[in-house]
Amino acid sequence: AQKITQTQPGMFVQEKEAVTLDCTYDTSDPSYGLFWYKQPSSGEMIFLIYQGSYDQQNATEGRYSLNFQKARKSANLVISASQLGDSAMYFCAMREDEFSGGYNKLIFGAGTRLAVHP
């Protein structure tokens, strides 16, 4: 069963507007972490934001915020005031604390390609 689902293969947004990238997950582990990474065309993986399963508040990092809805098992990434440099592939990932054997393995979604238009 797919554990991380990103249903949007591609998204377009106008520069300076906000965009939401969807991510849903499936786990029976009560303790887990959710991550978002950005991958530009050059290939490197850039960590953006983290949300822990026990965190009460939604995570924010500059222009990035994570809309965490635990009951719905969703962890959507919101990018405010989009910039041309935000054009990239975005991956949602999950770490299951109990089932990863303590190794902090990540499971990645299929990714969403974001294109920011001027």
Partner 1 sequence: GAVVSQHPSWVICKSGTSVKIECRSLDFQATTMFWYRQFPKQSLMLMATSNEGSKATYEQGVEKDKFLINHASLTLSTLTVTSAHPEDSSFYICSARGPGPYSNQPQHFGDGTRLSIL
| Candidates 21-29, 46-54, 65-73, 74-82; binding stretch for partner 1 (CB under 8 A) | 46-54
Return the structure tokens found at 9.
Answer: 């293969």
Minimal CA–CA distance to 57: which of 67, 42, 44, 72? Answer: 67
Tell me if 95 sits within 8 A of 33, measured CB to CB: yes
58 lies in the site for partner 1, by CB under 8 A = no
Return the structure tokens found at 97.
Answer: 């604390």
Q: Which of 20, 50, 58, 64 binds partner 1 (CB under 8 A)?
A: 50
CA 112 to chain centroid, in Å, comes to 9
Q: Which of 91, 94, 96, 116 binds partner 1 (CB under 8 A)?
A: 91
Instruction: Tell me if residue 7 falls in helix, strand or coil.
Output: coil
Q: Whose Cβ is closer to partner 1: residue 94's or residue 116's? A: 94
103 lies in the site for partner 1, by CB under 8 A = yes
Q: Which residues bind partner 1 (CB under 8 A)?
A: 33, 35, 37, 42-45, 47, 50, 52, 91, 97, 101, 103-111
